[in-house]
Amino acid sequence: MSDLTVDTRDVEDVTVLYPRGFINAHTVRGFDGAIQKAVARRRFQIVVNCEGLTYIASAGLGAMMGAIEEIRASGGDLRMAAPNETVQNIFEILGFNHLYRTYPSEAEAVESFRKGGQAAS
């Protein structure tokens, strides 16, 4: 089994990414590539469903930060859903919760775009 797979699904105007496995310096290209593909398709409302994500190192956080300006400048946002305790903890250590909205479930994250919620910063 691969260390990381990233499936993508469009839910109306929202694109949901499903990273499964862990994201570190070894696997980050797959995650970064999935974000970049969504941006290239001009899908700027992105949810990262973290249910299958066991762990994320700074490389993965960097991939998100590298894309967020273009996403927000295009009227979109990148939001997190369902991070496990380990991943949530890493977000908190870095203060990511101030930069990225996080929701308990994918449905709530997707719905947040329908309500026209603003980016976290």
Q: Which stretch binds other proteins (CB under 8 A): 8-16, 44-52, 64-72, 106-114?
A: 64-72
* Number of other CB atoms surrounding residue 74 within 10 Å: 13
Query: How many whole angstroms separate alpha carbon 39 and alpha carbon 97?
Result: 22
Of 100 and 103, which CB lies nearer to other proteins in the complex structure? 100
Of 2 and 116, which CB lies nearer to other proteins in the complex structure? 2
32 contact partners, CB below 8 Å, separation of at least 6 = 63, 66, 67
Interacting residue with other proteins among 50, 68, 81, 110 (CB under 8 A): 68
| 95 contributes a contact to other proteins by CB under 8 A | yes
